[in-house]
A and B are shown apart, each in its own frame.
Chain A
Amino acid sequence: MGMKVTLEQSDNAAGSCVEALNDRFSGSGVESTVEHHSNAFKMAFVRINATPQHWLAVAKFLKFDLSVNYCSMVTGTHFPDGPAERGWEVAYHMMRMPVSNVEPHTNTTHVAENLSGNDIPLEFEVRISIEQGDSPTVPSIQSLWVGADWNEKETWDLVGINFEGHENMHRVLNPHDSPDEFHPLQKQHKLRYHGHNEMYDDAQGFGRKPADEGRNK
């Protein structure tokens, strides 16, 4: 029969991680909580609200003490209408996986109910608020997880978050000759079409101009 990590296991694992994090970073403004998804099995995950100056320390603690070995996703968001201290947000999604190298001609077959401690797969969400301004900056974690490298490249390319200390930063999805300050997922860039009605009027878009025409891009 199939198997799965139970809600109880993920609750306990997330609880002990949050305890360790709050112990280590008490009073520094880094807050960790246990949260639950509201889909499927309502699994638990760890949410960490960090600040740019503490981020590297938190990341090292995640990697070396909580054995988080997988940086899966980096999301930047632009909040031009947000409060002064939250003009931008970077969200990291990380995973803990019970994966290690195996001897030749063998394999590791984990059984979910036998996993314990740092072997229990767990999800971490780290959110970092950055104040309003033209050059949002967070330290790069490229040196900790190789997987963060291209994620950070993508986030800089599309959203324009600067990753301090990132080596070999370049465009990955946009053309290499895009204008310097052009990051399409920033909110001042609007789509050409706003509703489907407009599209019906002029399906080919010949008479249409970008909504942000004339603005300095």
Chain B
Amino acid sequence: MSGALARALLARTAAVVGGLVAAVAALVVLLKAAPGDAADLVTTDPTLRARLVAEWDLDAPIHEAVGAALSGRWGQSWTVRPGADVADLVMEALVQSVPLWLGAWALTLALGIGWSSQAGRARWQGWPVLSAAPVFLLGWAAIVLLNETAFAAMGAGWINRPAWFSLPDSTSFLRSALAMTVLAAGSGGLRSFVDGARSRLEVHRMSPAVEALVARGQPTRRLLAWLWVPDLSVLAAERGALLFGGLVVVERVFAMPGAGSLFWEACVRRDQPVVVASGVVAALGVALLRWLADMTRVVADPRLRELT
């Protein structure tokens, strides 16, 4: 590995780690500032409340809370699953969310790259209308449409009760596939990815290097792909980070257990350890994605090493 590349990688890594530390600190500070706390949810008895505040260390200084958050000493859940180890809770939830996230991300990349690499504009001009709907609305519409159709067909005697009925109550492949698709396509995410990828591809198509190849009658696909990779890595990282947030919505709408619904529950129930742990994990995920994108760009584009 060349010195410039190594320095570039190191600098990028340091920036990512620094950002992560600052973000966790900001999260802890925000939570400390929250009016109302978990003890309020358990009891209004002042004596019991005082004991809970002491046991949960609600009055711990900020630097101690930040240190505990960063070192993974998350303790036990207060109100979501009282007494449960937070690390175990979050890991179990992650195991359930990762396949959904990975599937949606892969779908976005596959559809996005495929669509945006088509020369010219997409034939169906109306498809952005579908993609524009918020994730929850798409999910609601899909669930209601499928359920009502199936229920009417069952009532008319046309079909037996399908294994997936009724959504999203029962665990089924259809529920997972639907959730993945809605997560990938909703809130304009897929459209934004396609637009971003296509615009960068068009810029590269007009670059001098590509034009030179065209002038010589040589294929441009490999060069375009190589030029496109850094842009795609950035777009993919951004899309992946956005999908983390989308998990919260999709898991709630489709009644799927996972890190998103755990985070929601923890926010509403003021379960600070779980919020902090989930926030740290989410920030880690975003940082990892951005680091991977950065590494890809730096490796693919030597010019970027000189700018570091």
Indicate whether A and B interact.
Answer: no
* A residues adjacent to B (C-beta < 8 A): none
